[in-house]
Amino acid sequence: MDSQKLEEFKLHIENLICQQYQRIEKMKQEKDFIDYSKIDKIVIGIAGGDGIGPAITAHAEKVLRILLAEEEQEGRVCYKIINGLTLENRIKANKAIPDDVLAELKKCHVILKGPTTTPRAGDKCNIESANVAMRKELDLFANVRPVKVPQEDIDWIFYRENTEGAYALGSKGYHFDDDLCIDFTVATKEGSERIIRAAFDYAKKTGKNKVSVITKANVIKTTDGKFLEIAKQVSKDYPDVEWDDWYVDILAAKLIDKKRRTQFKVIVLPNLYGDIITDEAAEFQGGVGTAGSANIGKRYAMFEAIHGSAPRMVEEGRVKYADPCSILRAVVMMLEHIGYQDKALLLQHALDICMIYEKKEAITGREDGCTSDEFVEYLLNTLKDNNMQKKYESFVSK
């Protein structure tokens, strides 16, 4: 073993631990969630991202602006277009989020973000994913991902921890030598408690009254063990909310089990398991192209599709067939988050009609499906239809 490397490693760990304690301090100071009803003008940032991102984000922005036209006119909401969140700029600045872009993001209350391309290990530029960086910089600790398949009685909502776990130091692992590499996983009391509480609060508020806590605490004993231990503590504050715990491997299996899967309601899980399981879950609903995602913190919130920037679609000239539904579902979550529940429900029902029930136009991502333009027109016509609500109810009651 190289003793100089070992010394370097010790220093590296010391730095990481100091940074984590600084983060814990910050978490402790930030107690209350922002109250949007007290804000005169809500600033909505729009960042298109890479690949199919700018195109699908433009569609979502169009729908959002139509739904909030009155509020925009009355000056209750305004938009900030943020163009610089591109892979090109990130490589140029050699930063996951260039400073000027981060400053712009911080001027917003909420952000609608298109997918951004994530450099892979071994790519020439070794920068962190813009997603992961944004979640950390804006402390967006709750990644909320609903998945619904009404015909199958599936109604899940995932509360994925978003700033810790394997992601906290995902770009700060240590490459000792050709024989040994080490990565780190982080769980803090503060960080675990706030996500678990968010899940229990949601279960209580919505009357779902059931939380499943997911770990692999039989193997990852320290950090997952902590997560589970904190869940036990937190659950005591919610006597009316039933809860259980599952290991992530068997959860992955049970989501496929038709008899068992409907018992899951609110599911809270550490970062990496949340990443994997929510892609699996979205598949039941029609794929990652159909699922929206909210990244919520106490001060900021960011809403996005759960999928990536699909560079292959760009290479193959298929951008105009890209599915905007995932980011439109994110718009539903944004509207709900900033206090426009009625408009959120309106858009949700229109999307349900167009994506699940009526399906007059189908997006396939290819020529055999409709274009995103055609789909958005169908959606807007559905929204405008005075009988939409009746139509929706008749579908649901069937």
170 binds, among Mg ion, ligand IPM, none (CB under 5 to 8 A by kind): none
Stretch that binds Mg ion, among 3-11, 174-182, 267-275, 290-298 (CB under 5 A): 267-275
Per CB under 5 A, the list member of 139, 275, 304, 323 interacting with Mg ion is: 275
Residue with smaller CB distance to ligand IPM, 199 or 241: 199
Query: In this structure, are residues 291 and 282 in contact, taking their beta carbons and an 8 Å threshold?
Result: yes
**Where do we find the tokens 């958005």?**
376
Total length of the chain: 398
Residue with smaller CB distance to Mg ion, 195 or 353: 195
Report in angstroms how near the CB of residue 128 gets to ligand IPM at its nearest.
Answer: 9
- Residue 115 to residues 32, 57, 59, 103, 330, Cα–Cα distance (Å): 29, 9, 14, 19, 12
Residues engaged in binding ligand IPM (CB under 6 A) = 118, 129, 131-132, 275, 306, 308
CB burial of residue 317 (10 Å; 0-12, 13-18, 19+)? exposed
Distance CA 94, CA 241 (A): 46
Residue with smaller CB distance to ligand IPM, 42 or 333: 333
Q: How many CB atoms lie within 10 A of CB 398?
A: 7
Report in angstroms how near the CB of residue 180 gets to Mg ion at its nearest.
Answer: 28
Distance of CA 260 to the CA centre of its chain: 25
Stretch that binds Mg ion, among 122-130, 214-222, 272-280, 341-349 (CB under 5 A): 272-280
Q: What is the 3-state secondary structure (H, E, C) of 122-163?
A: CCCCCCCCHHHHHHHHCCCCEEEEEEEEHHHCEEEEEEEECC
Report in angstroms how near the CB of residue 103 gets to ligand IPM at its nearest.
Answer: 22
Report in angstroms how near the CB of residue 55 gets to ligand IPM at its nearest.
Answer: 18
Residue with smaller CB distance to ligand IPM, 248 or 376: 248
Beta strands in 168-282 (DSSP E): 174-177, 180-182, 210-215, 242-247, 266-269
308 binds, among Mg ion, ligand IPM, none (CB under 5 to 8 A by kind): ligand IPM
Residue with smaller CB distance to Mg ion, 117 or 382: 117
57 binds, among ligand IPM, Mg ion, none (CB under 5 to 8 A by kind): none
132 binds, among ligand IPM, Mg ion, none (CB under 5 to 8 A by kind): ligand IPM
- Torsion sign, CA atoms 152, 143, 250, 191: negative
Report in angstroms how near the CB of residue 53 gets to Mg ion at its nearest.
Answer: 15
Q: Where are the alpha helices (DSSP H) in 40-114?
A: 53-67, 69-73, 87-93, 99-105
| Cβ neighbours for 199, distance < 8 A, ≥ 6 positions apart | 159, 211, 266, 267, 268
| Cβ neighbours for 249, distance < 8 A, ≥ 6 positions apart | 216
| Cβ neighbours for 235, distance < 8 A, ≥ 6 positions apart | 200, 211, 241, 243
Residue with smaller CB distance to Mg ion, 43 or 272: 272
State the residue number with the nearest CB to ligand IPM: 129
Stretch that binds Mg ion, among 82-90, 124-132, 207-215, 268-276 (CB under 5 A): 268-276
Stretch that binds Mg ion, among 11-19, 65-73, 235-243, 275-283 (CB under 5 A): 275-283
Pairing state between β 180-182 and 174-177: antiparallel
Residue with smaller CB distance to ligand IPM, 215 or 278: 278
290 binds, among Mg ion, ligand IPM, none (CB under 5 to 8 A by kind): none
Residue with smaller CB distance to ligand IPM, 57 or 129: 129
Report in angstroms how near the CB of residue 269 gets to ligand IPM at its nearest.
Answer: 12
Return the SS3 of 43: strand
Report in angstroms how near the CB of residue 282 gets to ligand IPM at its nearest.
Answer: 10
Report in angstroms how near the CB of residue 236 gets to Mg ion at its nearest.
Answer: 32
Report in angstroms how near the CB of residue 255 gets to ligand IPM at its nearest.
Answer: 16
Using rule CB under 5 A, residue 161 touches Mg ion = no
Distance CA 349, CA 379 (A): 10
**Which residues of the shown chain bind Mg ion in the complex (CB under 5 A)?**
275
